[in-house]
């Protein structure tokens, strides 16, 4: 065959294979490369740039997909994927337009923010992380993938792994809290859950690690704000979860809205190419955040969209989201400002993802309505209920008020007690709120047949100020009551007087946290605090079920309310899960992954604070020590903290030096000294008292979640390997320094054993 005939043959085979969908090929790297090379040979510059474009579903979600402008763009090969479309049939129809009506029939990627579940919604990620249960977290991602892929979606914009030390930042709800080690383990678990080992399995979906990088460090916790940080801090505190997700094989990465070292992430070559690809070996593609490329203009680094697009593609950003900026690359190439090779690189990476997902083999592989039966199936709901219970953190339980007995009269009071749309929590794009129980319904069901009486009153709105409450009512989460505050409170007091115990469901609204939900008043809203104070005046036992998407200031509540359970936003099965914990059918085992401050002024705030000159001891004011005059330097509830309905005791740890790969083994025995089964998290903290660069007093370096029967003991052993002692020194080099190290164990970061000491 001469060269021309060969090429023609490849082209025809390609067209036939794309359209007939029954082309089989082995999925070796070589085969993929040959396939994509042949395909790219056929592509015009416009079609290549088209692959770099990710519009929102937009006009295709309403009315006739076939007749929309987006459909026209798809036919013309100007679209690489779409996001936030839902439903196998609709997605099949849109995919059909791409595959049958565009010149080369290249299938589309369908993405969605499947952040903490799909229609089965798990607790918000911050809550999930408090379970410290890697298997359960992986399972939550697996279930999310099974459901989303049954509905046509093959790409999720998750995991969000941004470390944050600032409860003012609303998006702290979407991440795993403040610790890089724990964050990295969770990032890996989620990537595994979404992608499995076989991306081409039709229940696997492509993960997208976000937001690269340092988004959780926005100044003053203000959304989209400037970030300024030394590389020393960046690599020791913030980068580990992104790197772990990349090394676990995440197929895509999303750039962050913020700036790193003066350069917006979307145009930051050092970040997107040098660190991500060259240092960490990332092989997938990088996608913009929503209109992120255009924001290079708002950041004042690019005078127009064309130069923004040029800066972004040259930095290593492959796909544009929800903007037309990358369309300008066609002219930029013609003008010689961007090389075809640069476009080719980005295009290839996106086609590779499609190939690995098996979309060239069968573009409809995620569109099988019969798999819908799996969506919110009993097994998934049961898993969500269980992990929701595991994610709740018992903050206080004076006199063992909890669990409540299922008897007598219980008054359930508060604006979140009967608020259906607030159960799932922020970023529940696929949620079917009308299908989820309210807490009131969950508790009523738990009490059925017990003879216990449940009374209810709303008691207050979320806030006094209707306009403020309006801010969080987007997405139809409006539960405002038009009665006056006095009338509502009087009703609640009337109801509470008849009860033996008062259960308050109070806190933030689900959209009080999440994107663009920065707040500086992170205590309970006045309307609810006043109601709570009035209820406490009745002198009856009061339980606070606290709903939140962030760490909150519960200073007053912890001083006055006997029992407090942090329930976060616990997802579609949250009502049943809260009832399980409230009545002791589940024993709380969550441990905080973000510590709760005494005062918002303590932010940014972490248990992992660095050694300073003039150290402070005891957390209170000490002249010329690092402290505040008017508030403790310690948290109200520390990182790693969480109570149980049973008690645990941890022995002093012992150390056994090892030869070979391990440095040694730390052992401690943990005993359930109470009278019921329960789980807790044994945490191991490292200290390096003298090092070239200043290090934190303690850093989490290992943990184990342990379930024990009443009276049961277990010996827990942590193997210490040299990499656990490593850090990035002031020169930016990952180093293990010789000298003394200390290890402490405990059930939270403030209440630790004496150290075991060893030297390298
Ligand atoms: C958010 C991302 C999200 C994207 C698409 C942006 O506003 O920052 O986290 O994935 O929208 O919905």
Q: How far apart are CA 585 and CA 41, in angstroms?
A: 62
CA 176 – CA 178 distance, rounded (Å): 7
Give, as one character, the DSSP assignment of residue 70.
H
Q: Is the CB of 210 under 6 A from ligand 1?
A: yes
Position 69 scores a pLDDT of: 86
Q: What is the pLDDT of residues 355-391, one digit of tens each?
A: 999 999 999 999 988 999 999 999 999 999 999 999 9
Over residues 449-458, the mean pLDDT reads 98
Rounded to 5 degrees, what angle do the CA atoms 593, 595, 600 make? Answer: 140
Per-residue pLDDT band at 15 (split at 50, 70, 90): very low
Confidence at 337, pLDDT banded by 50, 70, 90? very high
Question: Residue 535: what are its φ and ψ, rounded to 5°?
Answer: -65, -40
- Ligand 1 touching residue 223 (CB < 6 A): no
In degrees, rounded to 5, the angle at the alpha carbon of residue 417 between the alpha carbons of residues 413 and 418 is 125
From 81, 84, 157, 294, mutation site for ligand 1 pocket: most ligand atoms within 8 A of C-beta: 157
Question: Does 113 sit in the ligand 1 pocket, CB within 6 Å?
Answer: yes
Q: Is the pLDDT of residue 1 over 60?
A: no
* Sequence-ordered strand ranges (E) for 617-676: 648-650, 654-657, 664-672
Pocket flag, ligand 1, residue 162 (CB < 6 Å): no
Give the pLDDT confidence of 273-315 residue by residue, as tens digits.
Answer: 999 999 999 999 999 999 999 999 999 999 999 999 999 999 9
Mean pLDDT, the chain, rounded, equals 94
Give the pLDDT score at 711: 98
Q: What is the pLDDT of residue 368?
A: 84
* Residue 476 vs residues 57, 117, 137, 171: alpha-carbon distances, Å: 20, 20, 29, 20
CA 257 / ligand 1 centre spacing (Å)? 10
The neighbour count for residue 299, using CB atoms within 10 Å, is 18
- The reported pLDDT for the residue numbered 17 is 38
**Mean pLDDT of the region 65-79:** 86
Residue of the CA atom closest to atom 7 of ligand 1: 290
**Start-to-end Cα distance in the chain:** 66
Q: Which of the four pLDDT bands, split at 50, 70 and 90, describes residue 214?
A: very high
Task: Kindly state if the Cβ of 515 falls inside 6 Å of ligand 1.
Answer: yes
**Confidence at 18, pLDDT banded by 50, 70, 90:** very low
Question: In this predicted structure, what is the pLDDT of residue 471?
Answer: 87
CA distances for 232 relative to 110, 136, 643, 692, angstroms = 38, 33, 35, 12
Helices 574-582 + 378-391 axis angle, to 10? 50
Tell me: pLDDT of 456 over 80.
yes
Question: What's the average model confidence in pLDDT over 326-345?
Answer: 98
Catalytic residue set: 289
CA of 498 to the centre of ligand 1 (A): 47
pLDDT digits (tens, 9 = 90+) for 690-732: 999 999 999 999 999 999 999 999 999 999 999 999 999 999 9
**pLDDT band (50, 70, 90) for residue 498:** very high
pLDDT confidence bin for 3, thresholds 50/70/90: very low
Going by alpha carbons, the residue nearest to atom 12 of ligand 1 is 113
Query: In this model, does residue 27 exceed pLDDT 80?
Result: no
HSE toward the beta carbon, residue 663, CA cutoff 13 A:
22
* % of the chain surpassing 90 pLDDT: 92
CA of 246 to the centre of ligand 1 (A): 19
Q: Is the pLDDT of residue 749 over 70?
A: yes
Q: Which structure tokens are listed for 301?
A: 């680094």
CA of 320 to the centre of ligand 1 (A): 12
pLDDT at 191 over 50: yes
- How many angstroms is it from 290 CA to the middle of ligand 1? 6
Tokens of 580: 């399980």
Among protein residues, the one with the nearest Cα to ligand 1's atom 5 is 290
Pocket test for ligand 1, best of 148, 156, 290 (most atoms within 8 A of CB): 290
Q: Which residues, in sequence order, are CB contacts of 182 under 8 Å at separation 6+?
A: 129, 132, 176, 593, 700, 703
Ligand 1 contacts CB of residue 758 (under 6 A): no
Q: Is the pLDDT of residue 478 over 90?
A: no
Q: What residue has token string 């042949």?
A: 38
Q: Is 14's pLDDT higher than 50? A: no
Element (H, E) at 714: strand 713-720
Does 290 contact ligand 1 (Cβ within 6 A)? Answer: yes
20 has pLDDT over 50:
no
């Amino acid at each position: 065959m001469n060269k021309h005939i060969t090429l023609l043959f490849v082209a025809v085979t390609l067209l036939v294979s794309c359209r007939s969908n029954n082309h089989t090929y082995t999925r070796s790297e070589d085969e993929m490369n040959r396939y994509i090379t042949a395909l790219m040979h056929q592509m015009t510059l416009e079609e290549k740039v088209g692959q770099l474009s990710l519009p929102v579903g937009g006009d295709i979600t309403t009315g006739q997909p076939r007749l929309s402008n987006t459909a026209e763009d798809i036919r013309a090969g100007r679209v690489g994927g779409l996001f936030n479309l839902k439903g196998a049939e609709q997605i099949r129809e849109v995919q059909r337009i791409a595959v049958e009506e565009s010149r080369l029939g290249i299938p589309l990627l369908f993405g969605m923010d499947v952040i903490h579940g799909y229609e089965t919604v798990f607790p918000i990620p911050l809550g999930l992380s408090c379970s410290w249960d890697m298997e359960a977290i992986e399972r939550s991602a697996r279930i999310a993938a099974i459901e989303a892929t049954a509905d046509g979606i093959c790409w999720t914009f998750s995991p969000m792994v941004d470390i944050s030390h600032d409860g003012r930042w609303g998006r702290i709800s979407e991440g795993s809290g403040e610790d890089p080690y724990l964050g990295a383990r969770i990032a890996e678990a989620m990537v595994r859950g979404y992608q499995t080992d076989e991306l081409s399995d039709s229940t696997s979906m492509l993960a997208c690690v976000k937001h690269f990088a340092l988004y959780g460090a926005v100044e003053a916790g203000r959304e989209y704000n400037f970030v300024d940080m030394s590389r020393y801090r960046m690599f020791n505190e913030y980068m580990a979860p992104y790197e772990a997700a990349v090394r676990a094989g995440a197929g895509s990465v999303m750039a962050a809205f913020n700036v790193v070292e003066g350069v917006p992430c979307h145009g930051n070559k050092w970040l997107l190419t040098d660190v991500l690809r060259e240092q960490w070996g990332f092989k997938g593609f990088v996608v913009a955040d929503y209109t992120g490329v255009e924001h290079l203009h708002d950041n004042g680094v690019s005078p127009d969209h064309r130069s923004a697009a040029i800066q972004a593609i040259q930095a290593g950003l492959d796909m544009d989201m929800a903007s037309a900026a990358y369309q300008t690359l066609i002219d930029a190439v013609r003008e010689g400002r961007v090389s075809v090779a640069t476009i080719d690189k980005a295009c290839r990476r996106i086609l590779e993802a499609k190939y690995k997902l098996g979309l060239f083999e069968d573009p409809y592989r995620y569109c099988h309505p019969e798999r819908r039966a799996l969506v919110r199936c009993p097994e998934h709901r049961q898993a969500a209920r269980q992990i929701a219970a595991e994610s709740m953190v018992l903050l206080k339980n004076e006199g063992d008020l909890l669990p409540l007995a299922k008897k007598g009269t219980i008054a359930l009071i508060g604006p979140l007690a009967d608020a259906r749309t607030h159960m799932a929590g922020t970023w529940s794009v696929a949620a079917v709120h009308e299908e989820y129980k309210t807490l009131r319904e969950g508790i009523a069901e738990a009490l059925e047949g017990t003879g216990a009486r449940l009374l209810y009153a709303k008691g207050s709105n979320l806030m006094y100020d209707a306009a403020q409450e309006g801010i969080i009512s987007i997405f139809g989460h409006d539960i405002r009551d038009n009665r006056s505050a006095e009338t509502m409170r009087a009703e609640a007091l009337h109801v509470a007087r008849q009860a033996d115990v008062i259960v308050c469901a109070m806190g933030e609204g689900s959209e009080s946290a999440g994107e663009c939900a920065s707040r500086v008043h992170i205590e309970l809203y006045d309307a609810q605090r006043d109601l709570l104070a009035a209820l406490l005046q009745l002198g009856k036992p009061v339980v606070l079920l606290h709903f939140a998407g962030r760490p909150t200031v519960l200073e007053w509540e912890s001083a006055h309310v006997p029992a407090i359970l942090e329930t976060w936003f616990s997802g579609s099965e949250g009502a049943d899960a809260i009832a399980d914990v409230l009545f002791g059918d589940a024993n709380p085992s969550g441990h905080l992954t973000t510590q709760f401050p005494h005062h918002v002024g303590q932010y940014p705030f972490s248990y992992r604070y660095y050694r300073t000159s003039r150290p402070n001891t005891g957390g209170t004011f000490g002249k010329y020590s690092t402290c505040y005059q008017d508030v403790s330097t310690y948290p109200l509830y520390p990182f790693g903290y969480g109570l149980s309905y049973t008690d645990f005791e941890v022995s002093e740890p012992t150390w056994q030096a090892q030869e070979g790969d391990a440095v040694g083994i730390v052992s401690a025995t943990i005993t359930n000294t109470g009278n019921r089964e329960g789980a807790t998290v044994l945490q191991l903290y490292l200290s390096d008292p003298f090092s070239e660069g200043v290090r934190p007093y303690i850093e989490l370096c290992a943990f184990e979640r342990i379930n024990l029967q009443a009276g049961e003991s277990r010996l827990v052993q942590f193997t210490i390997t040299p990499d656990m002692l490593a850090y990035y020194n002031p020169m930016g080099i990952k180093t293990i320094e010789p000298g003394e190290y200390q290890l402490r164990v405990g059930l939270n970061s403030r209440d630790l054993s004496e150290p075991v000491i060893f030297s390298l």
